[in-house]
Amino acid sequence: MRLLFHCCCAPCTAACLETLSSEGIVLRLFWYNPNIHPFTEYKSRRDALLQYTASQNMETEMSGENGGYGLRVFLRSLGGTGGGNDDAIARPARCESCYRLRLEKTAAHAAQNGFNGFSTSLLVSPYQDHEAIRRIGGEAAARYGTAFLYRDFRPRFREGQERARSLGLYMQKYCGCIFSEEERYAKHSKKQEPSP
Ligand code: SF4
């Protein structure tokens, strides 16, 4: 089986590859993540993935407009150039749009390039909405006439983190989008505000 494998980052990819290779699946890695902001963060994660895959003698196909950085594409996908309305930028709608954006691009690429199907490293994270990824992956496959390979990689999440750390790869501190960065750090800085 030839599988197009969407990689969200190096640590998650590292956790999945062994499982798939042990099943005899031939992988082509695919990077499409317009949800990672700002540009410096995008570059750190992209370069970490390239560093990891080079260490495994694997190539990664890069996708995305403007050299791959997709802030505008991401915001438009939420329903407007300024980030859409409040409902669209809140969870869970925002994350479902984000999964759809990335998985539809992967499904379309798999269908157009003769792959038997596609899957994603998003399925390894216990912090993502696993069932939504599974459902949206299936919907994207049906839309583009290909197959979504579902696996529950979550038991290997820690292993992927440890492998990335041992290789000295960049480890991200928030999910990816500007909203998740705010959620991560605004919460933290609130704790440090002096009491009134
Ligand atoms: S929090 Fe993560 S999954 Fe949700 S929209 Fe932002 S980058 Fe995407």
Q: Let me know if residue 195 belongs to a domain.
A: no
90 domain-assigned: yes
Domain assignment present for 153: yes
Does the residue 194 lie in any domain?
no
Question: 């980052």: which residue's tokens?
Answer: 9
- Going by alpha carbons, the residue nearest to atom 6 of ligand 1 is 177
DSSP state of 35: T
Rounded Cα–Cα distance for residues 98 and 108 (Å): 16
Q: Using 50, 70 and 90 to split pLDDT, how confident is the model at 195?
A: very low
Structure-token match 């490293």, residue found: 121
Which pTM value belongs to this model?
0.93
Domain count for the chain, please give it.
Answer: 1
Q: Is 168 exposed, middle or buried (0-12, 13-18, 19+ CB in 10 A)?
A: exposed
Q: Is 95 in the pocket of ligand 1 (CB under 6 A)?
A: yes
Check if 10 has its Cβ closer than 6 Å to any atom of ligand 1.
no
- Residue to substitute in 179, 181, 185 for testing ligand 1 pocket (most ligand atoms within 8 angstroms of CB): 179
Q: 196: cis peptide before it, omega within 30°?
A: no
- Residue 196 forms part of a structural domain: no
In this structure, which residue's CA is closest to atom 1 in ligand 1?
A: 180
Query: What pLDDT score was predicted for residue 84?
Result: 59
pLDDT at 193 over 50: no
Give the tens place of pLDDT for each residue, 21-60: 999 999 999 999 999 999 999 999 999 999 999 999 999 9
* Per-residue model confidence as pLDDT tens digits over 93-104: 999 999 999 999
Average pLDDT (99-110) is: 98
**Residue span of the structural domain in which 70 resides:** 2-189
- Band (pLDDT 50/70/90 cuts) for residue 192 is very low
CATH number of the structural domain spanning residue 121: 3.40.50.620
- Give the confidence band of 196 by pLDDT, cuts at 50, 70, 90: very low
Instruction: Flag whether 50 is in a domain.
Output: yes
SS3 29: strand
User: Ligand 1 centroid to 180 CA: how many Å?
Assistant: 6
Average of per-residue pLDDT across 62-83: 81
Cα 150 from Cα 123, distance rounded (Å): 8
Task: Output the residue whose Cα is nearest ligand 1's atom 4.
Answer: 95
pLDDT tens column, 133-170: 999 999 999 999 999 999 999 999 999 999 999 999 99
User: For ligand 1, is residue 119 a contact (CB within 6 Å)?
Assistant: no
Ligand 1 lined by 45 (C-beta under 6 Å): no
